[in-house]
Each structure stands twice: as C-alpha cells, then as structure tokens.
Amino acid sequence: MHVNKVSRVRTIDRVAKDLGEDVDFLFDVAIEMEPEDGLIWVLSLGDERVMAFTDVGVDSLVELIKIHRETKPREEC
C-alpha cells in the first residue's frame, strides 16, 4: 500500500472504540508518531484539532501500544 494514497482516516475516538482502549492512553502513545507513521491532524472550525489515523497508522499504533505496555507496566490501583 502506498502511504500517500489515503482514502480514509479514523479519529482517535473511533480507534479507541475499535481497539477497546482509553482515548487518553492512545493519545499518550500516539503523540510520538509522525505523518509517515500514519498520524494525521484534522482541523475543524475554531482551530480545533482531532488526531486521526490511516489504516497504516492504526497498525503502527497497535505496535506502539505493545511496545509501550512491554516497557512501561501499568500502575496498580
């Protein structure tokens, strides 16, 4: 798949729902991603920005989640 041929993106809210993850957790993991990794910022009215992902971006995010969980164990309540 060519990265420059994107036909759709999914917002971080949608990806969180699809993956069964918390939006804030995904944001913290994805903040280190670049456009080359499939991260896109969608601009709305009032300069609101929404994080979104290409299909490649979702795959990259899933890999980052695995790495994040392996290197940073969750805090126990």
pLDDT in tens, 14-53: 999 999 999 999 999 999 899 999 999 999 888 899 999 9
Q: Terminal CA-to-CA distance of the chain, rounded, Å?
A: 42
Supply the pLDDT for residue 61: 96
Q: Of the candidates 37, 39, 64, 33, which has an alpha carbon nearest to the alpha carbon of residue 52?
A: 39
> How many residues are given for the chain?
77
Q: Is 4 helix (H, G, I), strand (E, B) or coil?
A: coil
Largest CA distance in the chain: 44
Supply the pLDDT for residue 72: 73
Whether the per-residue pLDDT at 13 is higher than 90: the answer is yes
2 pLDDT band, cuts 50/70/90, is low
